[in-house]
Amino acid sequence: MKTVVIIPTYNERDNIADLIGRILKLYPYIDILVIDDNSPDGSFRIVEDLAEEYANIYLISRPHKLGLASAYREGFKWALERDFDYIIQMDADFSHKPRYIEAMLEKARSGADLVIGSRYSNGKTENWPRLRLLTSWAANNYARRLLGVKAKDLTSGFRCFRKEALEEVYSSCIHSKDYAFQVEMVYLFWKKGFVIEEIPIVFIGRKAGKSKFSFRSVVELFILFRKFKRKEKFFKDEKTSFKQDCGKMIF
């Protein structure tokens, strides 16, 4: 069964080579796709060199910074076109430990359509400022209550998708950017009736490089939650399937 790990990068020169090395040491059979947004620190050059050395390392080098959601969309499209059975997404800063990948794949092989590496389902977070920790916890709880989703960590960026499920969700209307993209993906999987599982992880805040998270990301999350609820009410009122063209609902 073919597996690919998708890693977006922007100024991750201090992390990306070590991360790729650790993944390949644990899982030499896994392919790795790095999507770089023309990092000023030259992260993409490191990946280019590694891709010349290893046949299972790939790079999509983009002309400028297009954002996290855009990177994952492009990565998903690339993986689905190449018929990978399992698609994993993770951060480049070692906040997501490669050792959890096998547990995620086991869940997916056992029938889960989406496996989330969860901080809030018996997992935990380390090396994060108290304010950011509280913001993340509050955003997840608010989203769960508002949207009715059972998963506990909707904003986690460490995930494993089963190909067939991702193909269906990928064809949906996905509007959000940056970190709100994570919530929208879980919401769409849940609305379509796919099986969502979580595994506990220890999330460790980055030790090298600069975080891409911002106050703007938080604002977008809360705006998105309300849009989801209006969208759901629209389809209920119109007696229209949520799976049909969401172009009828203007975001």
What pLDDT score does 180 carry? Answer: 78
Pairing of strands 114-118, 159-162: antiparallel
CA distance 1 to 14: 31
What pLDDT score does 237 carry? Answer: 44
Positions of the chain with pLDDT under 70: 173, 175, 177-178, 206-251
Q: In terms of Cα–Cα distance, which of 79, 90, 73, 85 is closest to 113?
A: 85
**Stretch (H or E) spanning 146:** helix 130-147
What pLDDT score does 234 carry? Answer: 38
What pLDDT score does 228 carry? Answer: 61
- The pTM of the full predicted model, rounded to 2 decimals, is 0.85
